Structure 1
């Protein structure tokens, strides 16, 4: 009897270890997110700076609506009803240089708003739709596009002039119609009907007279020959117009079957093409308004235009043709006075970005800055293939600004286009986000990660560089919108365990932020959500890998661990703000309650850590990004008492891909895994994302072969759950269908698949989320915990 009593505490401890409880459940946390409360987004200021508008939902509407807070009564939140919201909208607007006036379109009227006097005046009534409404260098003149051409309205003379003559058709034949063959019917008509013949003769005489008095002058017309002309703009000095001719690639698109269409029939959803596309073509045209002629920008003199990538050395048997690479060109950006213009050019192979000055007289390019990356050019503020990113002019018409990863981190630069002198305005092992000029053009405002990779703060800096003044102080993410007079800032702020709320602060360092919203529901606040530790562990190559760590209470610890792999590849999830993966965050709290140790890693390729981290997976997805997961598992075993053989892994999209290669290549480390909406073969994914990292399957098959899970499926040892939405137009359901056939042919029986007929890549239905995560929890509980 004595012996039995001694064994009882041990038995009770073992039962407690297996059956730890949580106040949370999958059904609870995967409900419609409205149960959590209501949280603000997309703040905007009124023109007078007295009101903040934002998206919110106090009334349980099907979607967020526009709400407002008047600073005179900041405790009152009011819904903006449609008539007021419609009156606020000002499409096609532009501000003058000192931002005292705005032009905008209202129905068929072009309006002028005086922001200082708060008055609105009708400038012009126009009969056609209007786009690209802009002040010119002479602010008494306003340019706009209509019916495929540019018009200028002079506010002094009240006159409108058409400054371009562009036709979407083909140039007419020079052959005179009178020389054309007259048909039998026309000939007989002219013989039989005297009035018809007389009228035709009169028309021909009138035409001949008009042509005789023109002294041989023909009005110039540029014919696009049916090509797609876009981005038509007038230089501020009205000397040139520029435009883009876009010729889309003719690549085969894929189709995703919808088996649950309301029609009762299986309908195909049109989806993207696959990696290896032929490129779309962009040409930049220059319309010389003085010489009445059109010519195109020439790119053949760009330095390195024929450079081959380094990876060609891996294919010694192949002959590589030296030729000009395919390019994409952004729309030109004119200096404020219109005398100069810059143009961003990117190589279609993603290895080069050139910032160039355009000689508007000839179309030739002068390279101002070339950023070459043997992996791919990217990072915050760098922009994509068709432009975007940080690029523009200072008011002096001499300096341009842009961002570059020249030092390994994305920083803000100035360059004098006359002297070529380049100056870094920011520097250090941090990144810069969304810089913009102050209203008086004497300062920069910018967001950076200088304090910590897991924090974002708002700064002010002198125009030509100098000390940055930190304006926000709350630890976490401070997403700032500046008031029109720049005296106050609206902040969407969140912390690791606290969803976003709206704050108001004076625009000065050390000012205290005032919370304006408080949206958490009582049900959400009832649980004590964890503030996960941010740790770093050593990778096998010596890198320090950041991660979020969730530790259970010692009394609940069960020796098992789950590693979460975020999606997107280039995304940051180890930070001190509310995660976009909020469902997964709540699931991690549930797992921790149950005694699991949870690790969430910003593996190689994640955002927020500079160029080398971003490109660490070049030509080998499933390389360092996977070894970081393995090293994370070793860290848990060495430092946090996790038992070997009791580690699971899961994630969606890119995280699903990593889960697959983890189970296929490291079954000795990972016992179980849940691969959600996962890429199984990178040759079947899209071009824009995949070609950056792996090039193309035709040119670099080695990279695709060693990166695609389907080639390693024979290595599956542990327990695999595959889950995928059948309507996924991003990572197609076809991916897991092909993989499942491979697993069948390999004779694997330690896997299962859950399919979701009504879901796209991002699940929408709470029932789907619940089903998926119940399966994930069941997988981990049944395979990682001791079952007594």
Structure 2
């Protein structure tokens, strides 16, 4: 018996060891499901289904990204994948060729870099190597390679050298001869409070008198003092022959966060962030499904109102190592200068500053010798200043800069003359101008604008002196573009409401026909007819016309159920005539239409694209005016579309999930069912950068947080609720759902459920997770508002 047991144990041990030495077993069943799903993509599909829609980019097509010009203005490089490829890769296109080609896998594509003043050369960093590219020939040369990572590199003012920065300091390398010079050392530790190089002075008063008497009485003390003076004089003399490299140390309690070198190699602007003092408490996030099977915690972020840390901007003079701190723009407002930028000739330095309460922003001219500032443009907003404002760029090789500002209520292009310290508005009208880019000489500015319609992104050309604006492309749809280095062409990704993004190249001529370089959607997508949703306007209770997109079913279901979709982010536009970033939802809405549902997608108050007043209408109260637009939209569906009053559902993710909760909690009976995906349940637990803009500080304005947070209104739930959340969400923490779940339990609420996704974050990545989430949403609507 004992022999049999020993033999069995030996056999089991040998089998276990053999299994451990083999390759890990694959999740064969799950892999087979995914492979089977993708078989349908190669040809036409007779009936659209949820699993296919949730395949995402593989079905709809991948948007070309990371677009950059190459070979001067003679070609492009970009990131893209065909529908049948597993991952993205780099592609290249040369003007005049028939098609784009994959970049060789064994040769890394050069990253984005910085041009010289004439845009004849480009410098970029590859790990620990600085490389320059001749834009006329495309030839790339290594300039210097060091034993540490290089974080940035730029040309000097006359393109005779490259200036670059590492963790250890700032360097200059000549382009004409092998000469490398270190300009600044980043020292360890912190800066002493005494000014560096200050000569010791004899003490004054009683202490000084005693010091004089001591040297008069004692020879040794007298000799030490004389020897120290001679040593100091000798050191100063040596510096004239063998100059020391200046050393910069961050002041106590601060760490270096960014360095910008002047093109003349005379100064360095150093951005600093506070590290000492009271520490913000960071929330931990548990990760349950890990590679080794053990639960681990991940640090995420602090909550709104906690310590965000002071920021500071300092200027270092490279010849002496002298340091000055850039001053704040207003004596009665706490504001921190940041984002330094030098003119191409190094004569001017600009920076921006933003008030601690986000109600003021400044564009500044900085004197690098004194740290004094002059205000070029000041924006005050009683709500909060838009984050994209007063971020200036240089207008060619001039002393002027251009930026966007909402000073007149709409986002427009402004120009500031840094030398004259003046600014003026360049474009005018009740429309938005976004993403401006200037030609190399600064004569013209190209931008995306909405003069035709707030729902169409036109390409416009603006005279940089007069502001005269010409619409170059009126082909509808939407676009993002990249101006060529020579200023004669653009590369753009273009789309329509029912056509995904494609990359194309065109001359800057209103009559020029663009050449399309990509073909992204799968054959399955192309085999179907896709809707262009009609844009309608909902009459809100305050008399405002709120834009929306409507999907009308060909055969409405009895009872006429309807679903309202709420886009996320808050400040985002989704009612437009270009391809939506919510392309899975676009496909889901087609499925709902085919099932007999009407779908309405609203650009509620707080959305982008409609000016400053629309953006700030939610100040102090999220879930107020924005939610009222949805309550009004539900009534509009009943009155204008004949939808059933008790058959209206609502769903959305992130901010949209928050809105779904607020709708069910504060307007019971309006929405019979709602799905809140990755929702914010309590704004006091979200981040500071986004939340404090709109709701102020939680200790100063606690009522803003109480009335805006769903968890404080959970007692109002009467209808059906589904909550879906990724456990690894580092943006909107799943802890918020746990807290709301406990509140609903204690309130003894019914008809609610929660689904957690252990391996997903804020934006789901896997098609299986997307499918499971939207299957639950569809089943909720079918069960509650789609019933016979």
Q: Give the TM-score normalised by structure 1.
A: 0.83
Task: Report matched runs for 1:571-610 at 5 Å.
Answer: 571-610=572-611
- CA displacement at 1:419 relative to structure 2: 4.2
What is the deviation of 1:590? 1.0
Find the counterpart in structure 2 of residue 690 from structure 1.
691
CA contact (8 A) 1:473 1:510 kept: no
Distance 1:596 1:69 in 2: 44
Query: How far, CA to CA, are the matches of 2:51 and 2:134 in structure 1?
Result: 55
Distance across 1 between alignment mates of 2:125 and 2:759: 41
Tell me which residue corresponds to 1:531. Answer: 532
Matched-pair contact (CA < 8 Å) for 2:163–2:173: yes
In the alignment, which of 338, 341, 352 is matched to residue 344 of structure 1?
352
Q: 1:135 to 1:601 in 2, by over 3 A?
A: same
Q: How far is the alpha carbon of 1:60 from its aligned partner?
A: 3.6
- Map 1:44-443 onto structure 2 (within 5 A): 44-58=68-82, 60-74=84-98, 76-84=99-107, 86=108, 88-89=109-110, 93-104=113-124, 110-116=130-136, 129-155=149-175, 159-170=179-190, 213-214=234-235, 221-224=247-250, 227-248=254-275, 250-289=279-318, 292-299=321-328, 302-303=329-330, 305-306=331-332, 324-325=333-334, 327-378=335-386, 381-382=388-389, 389-392=391-394, 395-397=397-399, 399-443=400-444
Deviation at 1:173, TM superposition (A): 12
Q: CA deviation at 1:779?
A: 1.4
Deviation string 1:45-98 (CA, Å, 9 cap, x unpaired) is 321444333322238443111223444332x442222234x2x4157x432211
Give the deviation of 1:423 after TM superposition: 1.7
Partner secondary structure for residue 617 of structure 2? coil
CA distance in 1: counterparts of 2:296 and 2:127, whole angstroms? 38
Give how far 1:394 is off: 5.1
Cα distance change, pair 242–480 in 1 and its aligned pair in 2 (3 A) = closer
Q: Distance in 2 between matches of 1:146 and 1:759?
A: 36
- Aligned to 1:571, what secondary structure does the other structure show? coil
Q: Do 1:494 and 1:578's aligned partners in 2 also have CA atoms closer than 8 Å?
A: yes
Give the 3-state SS of the residue equivalent to 1:471 in structure 2.
Answer: strand
Is the Cα contact below 8 Å between 1:390 and 1:434 reproduced in 2?
no
**Deviation, structure 1 residue 292:** 4.4
- CA deviation digits over 1:594-618, x for unaligned, max 9? 1111100010111111111111111
In structure 1, distance between residues paired with 2:604 and 2:639 = 19
Question: How far off is 1:240 after superposition?
Answer: 2.8
Residue 160 of structure 1 deviates from its aligned partner by: 3.9
- 1:336–1:393 contact (8 Å) kept in structure 2: no
What secondary structure sits across from 2:596 in the alignment? coil
| Residue in structure 2 matched with residue 43 of structure 1 by the alignment | 67
Q: What is residue 27 of structure 1 aligned with on the other side?
A: 51
Structure 1: which 5+ runs fail to align? Answer: 1-21, 175-205, 307-323, 384-388
Q: CA deviation at 1:222?
A: 4.0
Instruction: State the alpha-carbon separation in 2 of the partners of residues 294 and 344 from structure 1.
Output: 19
Instruction: Give the direction of change, closer, same or farther, for the CA distance of 1:41–1:129 in structure 2 (3 Å limit).
Output: closer
CA offset at residue 35 of structure 1?
3.2
2:467 alignment partner in structure 1: 466
Q: Note the alpha carbon deviations across 1:215-237, whole angstroms, 9 max, x for none.
A: 57775644336742243333333
The alignment partner of 2:697 has SS state of coil
* Aligned mates of 1:420, 1:145 — CA distance in 2: 30
Judged with a 3 Å threshold, the aligned counterparts in structure 2 of structure 1 residues 146 and 648 are, in CA distance, closer, same or farther, namely closer
Residues 476-514 of structure 1: per-residue CA shift (max 9 Å, x gap): 112222334343332211111111122232221122223
Give unmatched runs, 5+ long, in structure 2.
Answer: 1-45, 195-226
The match for 1:19 is: none
- Give distance in 2, aligned partners of 1:774 and 1:172: 62
Residue 288 of structure 1 and its aligned partner are, at CA, apart by 2.9
Rounded to whole Å, the distance in 2 between the matches of 1:751 and 1:745 is: 13
1: CA distance, partners of 2:755 / 2:517: 43
Distance 1:208 1:251 in 2: 48
Q: Deviations over 1:276-333 (max 9, x none)?
A: 121222221122345542121222xx33x53xxxxxxxxxxxxxxxxx53x3321322
1:636-694 deviations in whole A, cap 9, x for unaligned?
A: 11111112111111111111111111111112311111111111111111111111111
Q: Secondary structure at the match of 1:62?
A: coil
Q: Quote the RMSD (CA, aligned, Å).
A: 2.8
State the 1:701 CA deviation: 0.1
Structure 1: how far apart are the matches of 2:57 and 2:140? 42
Q: Deviations over 1:128-154 (max 9, x none)?
A: 554432222243344223453323345
Secondary structure, aligned partner of 1:98: coil
CA distance in 2, matches of 1:212, 1:666: 81
Q: Deviations over 1:557-611 (max 9, x none)?
A: 6411110111111111111111111111111111111111110001011111111
Q: Residues 104, 489 of structure 1: CA spacing in aligned structure 2 closer, same or farther, 3 A cutoff? A: closer
User: Which residue of 2 is the match for residue 196 of structure 1?
Assistant: none
Tell me the number of residue pairs that the alignment of Structure 1 and Structure 2 aligns.
703
2:556 and 2:597 map into 1 onto residues whose CA distance is 12
- Contact residue 559 and residue 647 of structure 2 kept, 8 A: no
How far apart, in 2, do the equivalents of 1:343 and 1:484 lie? 25
Check conservation: 2:672, 2:784, Cα contact below 8 A. Answer: yes
Deviation at 1:159, TM superposition (A): 4.1
1:404 to 1:527, Cα distance in 2 relative to 1, 3 A: same
What SS is found at the alignment partner of 1:331? strand
Conserved 8 A contact 2:72-2:120 = no
CA distance change for structure 1 residues 246 and 482 in 2, over 3 Å: closer, same or farther?
same
Bigger drift between 709-718 and 550-559 goes to: 550-559
Counterpart contact for 1:720–1:751, Cα < 8 Å = yes
The CA distance in 1 between the partners of 2:237 and 2:694, in whole Å, is: 58
For residues 786 and 61 of structure 1, the distance between their equivalents in structure 2, rounded to whole angstroms, comes to 41
Higher mean C-alpha deviation, range 347-356 or range 107-116: 107-116
Measure, in 2, the Cα distance between the counterparts of 1:378 and 1:117.
42
Deviations 1:187-210 (A, max 9, x none): xxxxxxxxxxxxxxxxxxx99997
| Mapped contact 1:168–1:225 kept (Cα < 8 A) | no
User: Any idea what the Cα deviations from partners look like across 1:355-405, whole Å, max 9, x if unmatched?
Assistant: 1222223212222221111211105x327xxxxx344355332x3322211
Answer with 765-774 or 668-677: which moved more: 765-774
Contact 2:458 2:472 in 1 (8 A): yes
Whole-Å separation in 2 of the counterparts to 1:715 and 1:459: 49
SS in 1 for 2:737: helix
Distance, in Å, in 1 between the alignment partners of 2:315 and 2:495 is 47
TM-score normalised over the length of structure 2: 0.83
Give, in angstroms, the shift of residue 435 of structure 1.
1.1
Residue 155 of structure 1: CA displacement?
A: 5.0
